[in-house]
Chains A and B, each alone.
Chain A
């Protein structure tokens, strides 16, 4: 099975809801949505969502797989928890949005230029390397995530912020040489590898 997405398409032919329930974090909640729309008015970046959460849940039930997983919507979630605080059915909407995003990314279906998809991967890679976030490297890789020329432009635009942070002792240029780290990075990576394996195995199991 070289293409994970193709495998999922075959497996769940015409039942996207089942696929979500099995493979998406907290996906078993989706069927509980009563389409009241409260969550959709709650997102801080609401106007920028292609499909607000309520619509996403409707589309999942309608089997609109490509539209949902390929959407930039979930990546607009700021993790503000407005929706969770308000949903009359108690759906963990924030987590489902993150879960859909994770799943889409795993299958390679996320929009290719989605900045938050890129940033959240950078963040993860940054922290798992040493066990702690290296803010300088994270910042730099962020500026350069859309190519070199763009990176220079962003870095220049951000100069004032960087300098201000440096002057107040809140940014360390030497972090480029390594920076903060936990002692047991080897162990951390071993632990994460195991966690990934278990998750992969679970998804594979639903394939059969």
Chain B
């Protein structure tokens, strides 16, 4: 029997051979270590993130999350829903709030779900970010107790980004200077970049696709600030941030004449390595810019 059980909403980007499959892999690894069981929501669908509004209005968008919530209840009762993607977390949580507070939305959603014979029963389960589970349920101490290979000598910029911070925040921390990611860096034995100035600033999100030049300018500043702080790598809790900050470094270098080549990893990858797991379990093979320092530690 696993110690902690949750209903799990993986999100599109973590499916096999999708852009953040490495996030899923490393998350599964740390869940094994921490005795967390994730029960996938059967037949879950995409939540339309924050960018679906060009095609779907309020009700169609909320209905997407409502379907996931109803299916979660059906299969896993009142288990909290856990998401690894910030946008999934946000969309599902916002859907719950809107359904609770707006009678018109509620009746619309009931009707839409009624079309497919499912419904929301009583109180909706909470939707939480994986990071919340780690910090609030598992706790820093227990996480630290699992560390077998401290990531000594590594300096890491904790890039929180927007949506894993605003509007809901993690563990009641401030929006302007959240500390949880720095604490997680410390726990695994590395050193966080102090006063990382771009910690909570935006990478452009989905506009990286539609407005690449404008968004890459934002990412340039995020990376520059990490280098300025002496970082060996950047860590993030969000698949969109991870991708945006990692994969366009070549383009940014071409545009700005910079020489960026900084690995961008998930907190789950850091933890998996520190917990003594191998490179594969930590999904180090998913890095486009290889995290060689982590690879070395994993091999030891």
Contact (A187, B15) CB under 8 Å given A119-B210, A164-B247: no
Residue A106, interface by CB 8 Å: yes
**Chain A residues closer than 8 Å to B53, beta-carbon distance:** 98-99, 101-102, 120
Question: Contact: B250 with A190, CB < 8 Å?
Answer: no
Question: Contact: A192 with B112, CB < 8 Å?
Answer: yes
Contact (A190, B18) CB under 8 Å given A45-B211, A78-B202, A168-B286: no
Question: Contact: B209 with A135, CB < 8 Å?
Answer: no
For chain B, the count of residues having a C-beta within 8 Å of the partner chain is 66
**Chain B residues closer than 8 Å to A184, beta-carbon distance:** 43, 116
CB A137 to nearest CB in B, in angstroms, measures 12
- Cα A127 to Cα B50 in complex, Å, equals 13
**Chain A residues closer than 8 Å to B218, beta-carbon distance:** 44-45
Convert A111-154 into 0s and 1s, putting 1 for each residue whose CB lies closer than 8 angstroms to a CB of B.
00001111111011101100111010000001000000000000
Most A C-beta atoms less than 10 A away, residue of B48, B165, B167, B207 = B207
Question: Contact: A119 with B19, CB < 8 Å?
Answer: no
| A interface: dominant SS | helix
Contact (A79, B50) CB under 8 Å given A192-B56, A198-B59: yes
CB A44 to nearest CB in B, in angstroms, measures 4
Residue B163, interface by CB 8 Å: yes
Residue A10, interface by CB 8 Å: no
Residue B293, interface by CB 8 Å: no
Total A-B residue contacts, Cβ distance less than 8 Å = 215
Stretch from A1-9, A62-70, A80-88 forming part of the interface with B: A80-88
Question: Contact: A188 with B207, CB < 8 Å?
Answer: no
- Cα A1 to Cα B210 in complex, Å, equals 33
Contact of A161 among B59, B104, B248 (CB under 8 A): B248
**Chain B residues closer than 8 Å to A86, beta-carbon distance:** 175
- Cα A136 to Cα B54 in complex, Å, equals 20
Contact (A170, B21) CB under 8 Å given A82-B162, A102-B53, A132-B46: yes
- Cα A162 to Cα B245 in complex, Å, equals 15
Contact of A125 among B44, B55, B211, B288 (CB under 8 A): B55
Residue B195, interface by CB 8 Å: no
Residue A175, interface by CB 8 Å: yes
Residue A172, interface by CB 8 Å: yes
Question: Contact: A172 with B162, CB < 8 Å?
Answer: no
CB A89 to nearest CB in B, in angstroms, measures 14
Residue B287, interface by CB 8 Å: yes
Residue A182, interface by CB 8 Å: yes
Contact of B162 among A79, A125, A127, A168 (CB under 8 A): A79
CB A58 to nearest CB in B, in angstroms, measures 23
**Chain A residues closer than 8 Å to B43, beta-carbon distance:** 131, 182-184
Question: Contact: A85 with B45, CB < 8 Å?
Answer: no
Contact of B207 among A25, A45, A84, A98 (CB under 8 A): A45
Contact of B52 among A76, A123, A182 (CB under 8 A): A123
**Chain A residues closer than 8 Å to B20, beta-carbon distance:** 170
Question: Contact: B15 with A132, CB < 8 Å?
Answer: yes
Contact (A191, B116) CB under 8 Å given A44-B201, A196-B59: yes
Question: Contact: A195 with B108, CB < 8 Å?
Answer: yes
CB B71 to nearest CB in A, in angstroms, measures 10
Contact (A79, B15) CB under 8 Å given A44-B218, A124-B56, A183-B43: no
CB B112 to nearest CB in A, in angstroms, measures 4
Residue B147, interface by CB 8 Å: no
**Chain B residues closer than 8 Å to A76, beta-carbon distance:** 207, 211
Question: Contact: B67 with A188, CB < 8 Å?
Answer: yes
Question: Can you list 5 A-B pairs with a CB-CB distance of less than 8 A?
Answer: A44-B218, A76-B207, A127-B46, A160-B251, A172-B17
